[in-house]
Copies of this chain bind each other. A is one copy, B any other.
């Protein structure tokens, strides 16, 4: 897991622009490939082609397929954490904050389908890559902490009832959004209807919000 040179995004010394661009191109290509085909299904050749670069370069920058996969995972987590930073739940009144948290989670997963498939792949491998990551602590979501303060405020304002565990609730919100999208294909096939139709999607968001609010409200 030796990330050669440095991570392209955090480079401070003025290194070759080309080098950075190449590494980013590889990461982007790898993210697509891994997310569409899984770790075992992904092809180094295909990644090189997608990146428009020579295959040898991938090994030069990332060492191996597994190391590349980890790099993609790290970047994927960095992206969602960055997006979460832009949510300011502490500035919103509690009920609306919950609504926005559900909505944000839903839309983030919706707009970043690769997040779901990459995580599924990593879970299939029992988080073997993540466990070896040196940046694992940076992946912890700030939202859990934030959700805790929202719940606390709601309780003080006598809106929410006591005893709601923020970790459990955070996981539950993720569960509701994640599963519907992650398992959409099998669910649609079995139910025999298109769960991605606009109306079905709107109903789902509404239902999830009701479910979560029904639970936290007194």
* Chain A interface residues toward B at CB < 8 A: 37-41, 77, 117, 119-127, 130-131, 136-137, 139-141, 165, 167-169, 171-172, 174-176, 178-180, 182-192, 203-204, 207-208, 210-212, 214-215
Q: Can you report 22 residue pairs joining A to B where beta carbons are below 8 Å apart?
A: A38-B41, A39-B41, A41-B41, A41-B124, A119-B186, A120-B124, A120-B182, A123-B183, A123-B185, A126-B185, A136-B192, A137-B192, A139-B190, A167-B191, A168-B207, A169-B207, A172-B207, A175-B175, A178-B183, A211-B211, A211-B212, A214-B215
Report chain B residues within 8 Å CB of A126.
185
Given contacts A37-B40, A41-B40, A180-B175, contact A189 B124 (CB under 8 A): no
Residues from chain B with a CB closer than 8 A to the CB of A180 are 171, 175
Please indicate the chain B residues that have their CB under 8 angstroms from the CB of A167 in the complex.
191
Q: Which of B77, B176, B186 contacts A176 (CB 8 A)?
A: B176
| B-chain residues with CB within 8 Å of residue A141 when the two chains form the complex | 190
CB distance from A5 to the nearest CB of B (A): 15
Measured between alpha carbons, how far is A215 from B208 in the docked complex, in Å? Answer: 10
- A121–B139 CA distance with the chains assembled, in angstroms: 25
How long is the Cα–Cα vector from A38 to B39 in the complex, in angstroms? 9
Not counting A37-B124, A131-B189, A211-B212, a sample of 13 additional A-B residue pairs whose C-beta atoms are within 8 angstroms of each other reads A38-B38, A38-B41, A122-B186, A123-B183, A127-B188, A137-B192, A140-B190, A141-B190, A165-B203, A168-B204, A168-B207, A171-B179, A172-B207
